[in-house]
Amino acid sequence: MQIEQKITEAVVAAIKELYGQEVPQSMVQLGATKKEFEGQLTLVVFPFLKMSRKKPEDTAQEIGQYLVEHLSDVVARFNVIKGFLNLVIADACWVSLLSEIQQDESWGLTPVTEASPLVMIEYSSPNTNKPLHLGHVRNNLLGWALAQVMQANGNKVVKTNIVNDRGIHICKSMLAWLKWGNGETPESTGKKGDHLIGDYYVAFDKHYRAELKELTEKFMAEGMEEEAAKERAEKESTLMQEARAMLVKWEQNDPEVRALWKKMNDWVYAGFDETYKALGVGFDKIYYESQTYLEGKEKVEEGLKKGIFYRRDDGSVWADLTGEGLDEKLLLRADGTSVYMTQDIGTAKLRFQDFPIDKMIYVVGNEQNYHFQVLSILLDKLGFKWGKDLVHFSYGMVELPNGKMKSREGTVVDADDLIQKMIGDAREMSRDKVNKLEDLTEEEAQEIARIVGMGALKYFILKVDARKNMLFNPEESIDFNGNTGPFIQYTYARIRSILRKAEGSRVLCDSIAENGLSEKEIALIQQLAAFGTAVKQAGTDYNVSVIANYCYDLAKEFNGFYHDFPILKEEDEQKRAVRLALCDAVAKVIKTGMGLLGIEVPERM
């Protein structure tokens, strides 16, 4: 049992015995003692003054005396500062807790059982007309980490992806490939499939802009105003007309268009899979908009019959949400084609058929906040039991020091390029700054560079509260000092080196030296004990940055201890045993915590 829980129960018993009052455990307020006072835990006594009918100092004195008498194995002594009771926890209690942390392989985690609720998490949501970019990197890393955190909080988790594999943007890439591709394939060009298709999406835009410019100039030469000329050019663009005609053929199941669509999408999926593997993310189930949009149309028609939606004179179908303080939402256009909302309804229907979902979490950028507010209401109206409580895990934009990303001009920050840069930078850093790794093979050194580079990328993104916009600075992320992934990884590798030199023996300590534990050793055990609280908070708040910053604080606390106290050179066997046990426990918790973020930790650096 955790120290806080033992004290909480004892305080409840103290109030009953001293003042004859039953109080709930929730009334007991325990926190870390301020650094300027002696003690590790502080009890706030103000809530009990009505029961004691005494001054805060006297009440604290009486409760402290009770705890020392009845819980002597936990509370060694106490001091009172006004209405605050500062408790000094017995050294033996800390050592016992350290031993418990070492022996519990799933310390801080809640086990998943048959009765656990099922949480589905949707993330990634790429388009099949271009490769994944920096925005997708943040999305995928957040989605994967959130899935790990929800599971660590005792939930069954299903990770899903919805692929935007239909629509005019897909047809643009297809048409460009037909016109200018000369039969190119990923094999013939040596390019990843998603990059090849992305090139054709950019090529379409380039030709389309050139056509618009030519038409606009022609119409202006005929005497039209510039705005009117631009508008007419857009209407008369043959390229855009061809793309729309291709989309109609796709909708009509034209065999040639569908065959081309499937071939090019397969190239893209193979490319995506490589990127997902490099990022260390995956999915339990992938849904495709080409399969879900018809299901959505069916569900909207069903809502129409039930009077949940209504049809306008032009044939379009709408939801009236003015009663909910929102506006009216289009669900089917006049020509019967679906919108994104319809597709999301269809996807929800399929998911609900496939899984007994208790909670649905969508990891999607904050520009879609309104969309998910509407989706929640519509799903609830349509009878999905989790609709009302769906969670939109809304995250901010990622920017680079030189400005925002733009995809249509082909200047997007490509995920694959970024991954390669991070691994390359880590390799250079290891050559320049860290232990030279002279006894490693090239393959082993490259693997460490991969772990460190990806750790730097993931940690830098995940340490920021997802709701905030963020600036991703590759150089800053790979620094071995400060709040970075490599700093935490290096701390782990340093500890593993210490343990190897101690002959790899896993030291479990059950006794302490005569002069007890130092403040830094106790602070480290306290920090280890707080891991479960950090995991719970991250799950409750849907905020994975809590875990990232916990890992940093733990690594920082360990480095302060390592700087001040000898470990392998400590001559007192009991002190050495405690310090090696601390090393073992810290390494374990760092590995678990970073693992929840999808970050590997190397055995050596």
Phi, psi of 110 (to 5 degrees): -100, 125
Q: Provide the pLDDT for residue 439.
A: 74
121 within a domain of the structure (yes/no): no
The count of domains in the chain is 3
Band (412; pLDDT cuts 50, 70, 90): low
Based on the fold, state whether residues 43 and 176 are members of the same structural domain.
no
User: What is the H or E stretch that residue 16 is in?
Assistant: helix 3-19
Please report how many Cα atoms fall inside a 13 Å half-sphere around the Cα of residue 236, on the Cβ side: 14
Based on the fold, state whether residues 171 and 68 are members of the same structural domain.
no
Q: Domain residues for 440?
A: 415-596
Per-residue model confidence as pLDDT tens digits over 268-299: 999 999 999 999 999 999 999 999 988 999 99
Instruction: Give the amino acid at 571.
Output: E
Question: Contact, 292 vs 346, CB < 8 A?
Answer: yes
Residue 430 pLDDT greater than 80, yes or no? no
Band (573; pLDDT cuts 50, 70, 90): confident
Q: What is the largest CA-CA distance in the chain?
A: 100
* The pair of three-digit structure tokens given for residue 124, joined into one six-digit string: 């990634």
Band (481; pLDDT cuts 50, 70, 90): confident
Helix axis angle for 442-462 and 545-564, nearest 10°, is 120
- Beta-bridge partner residues of 317: 311, 332
CB atoms within 10 A of CB 2: 13
Among candidate residues 62, 89, 116, the one where a domain is terminated: 89
Instruction: Give the amino acid at 330.
Output: L
Three-class SS string for 181-208? CCCCCHHHHCCCHHHHHHHHHHHHHHHH
Phi, psi of 336 (to 5 degrees): 90, -5
> Once rounded to an integer, what is the mean pLDDT over residues 442-467?
94
Q: Which residue has the tokens 């799933």?
A: 106
Based on the fold, state whether residues 437 and 544 are members of the same structural domain.
yes
Interatomic CA distance for residues 373 and 390, integer angstroms:
9
211 within a domain of the structure (yes/no): yes
Please report how many Cα atoms fall inside a 13 Å half-sphere around the Cα of residue 203, on the Cβ side: 18
Question: Contact, 141 vs 208, CB < 8 A?
Answer: no
Q: Provide the pLDDT for residue 407.
A: 42
User: What is the H or E stretch that residue 250 is in?
Assistant: helix 238-251
- 551: domain CATH number is 1.10.730.10
Interatomic CA distance for residues 196 and 267, integer angstroms:
9
Average model confidence (pLDDT) for the chain? 91
- Beta-bridge partner residues of 118: 156
439 within a domain of the structure (yes/no): yes
Interatomic CA distance for residues 379 and 542, integer angstroms:
22
Based on the fold, state whether residues 438 and 576 are members of the same structural domain.
yes
Please report how many Cα atoms fall inside a 13 Å half-sphere around the Cα of residue 19, on the Cβ side: 20
Spell 124-138 as b/e; 16+ CB within 10 A means b. bbbbbbbbbbbbbbb
Interatomic CA distance for residues 559 and 584, integer angstroms:
14
- Which of 68, 76, 67, 79 shows the shortest CA–CA distance to 42? 79
357 within a domain of the structure (yes/no): no
Phi, psi of 583 (to 5 degrees): -55, -45
Question: Contact, 157 vs 192, CB < 8 A?
Answer: no
Phi, psi of 458 (to 5 degrees): -65, -45
CB atoms within 10 A of CB 256: 9
Interatomic CA distance for residues 557 and 565, integer angstroms:
12
Per-residue model confidence as pLDDT tens digits over 340-383: 899 999 999 999 999 999 999 999 999 999 999 999 999 999 99
Per-residue model confidence as pLDDT tens digits over 293-340: 889 999 999 999 999 999 999 999 999 999 999 999 999 988 888 888
Interatomic CA distance for residues 109 and 587, integer angstroms:
16
> Once rounded to an integer, what is the mean pLDDT over residues 509-520?
70
Residue 38 pLDDT greater than 50, yes or no? yes
- Beta-bridge partner residues of 318: 310, 330
* The pair of three-digit structure tokens given for residue 456, joined into one six-digit string: 């730097």
CB atoms within 10 A of CB 549: 18
501 within a domain of the structure (yes/no): yes
Band (571; pLDDT cuts 50, 70, 90): confident
User: Percentage of the chain with pLDDT > 70?
Assistant: 95
> Once rounded to an integer, what is the mean pLDDT over residues 440-457?
92
DSSP code per residue over 155-177:
-EEEEEEEEB--SHHHHHHHHHH
Q: Provide the pLDDT for residue 409.
A: 47
Taking the chain, what is the end-to-end CA distance rounded to the nearest angstrom? 36
Residue 433 pLDDT greater than 80, yes or no? no
* The pair of three-digit structure tokens given for residue 265, joined into one six-digit string: 């999408």
DSSP code per residue over 56-114:
HHHHHHHHHHHHHHH-TTTEEEEEEETTEEEEEEPHHHHHHHHHHHHH-TTTT-BPP-T
* The pair of three-digit structure tokens given for residue 372, joined into one six-digit string: 């998910």
576 within a domain of the structure (yes/no): yes
108 within a domain of the structure (yes/no): no
Interatomic CA distance for residues 46 and 29, integer angstroms:
10
Contacts of 313 (CB under 8 A, 6+ apart): none
- Beta-bridge partner residues of 330: 318
CB atoms within 10 A of CB 346: 23
Interatomic CA distance for residues 136 and 419, integer angstroms:
12
Q: Which residue has the tokens 């030199």?
A: 501
Residue 241 pLDDT greater than 90, yes or no? yes
- Which of 337, 354, 363, 351 shows the shortest CA–CA distance to 387? 351
Based on the fold, state whether residues 59 and 179 are members of the same structural domain.
no
Q: Provide the pLDDT for residue 605.
A: 84
570 within a domain of the structure (yes/no): yes
CB atoms within 10 A of CB 226: 11
Among candidate residues 66, 89, 112, the one where a domain is terminated: 89
Among candidate residues 89, 119, 144, the one where a domain is terminated: 89
- 52: domain CATH number is 3.30.1360.70
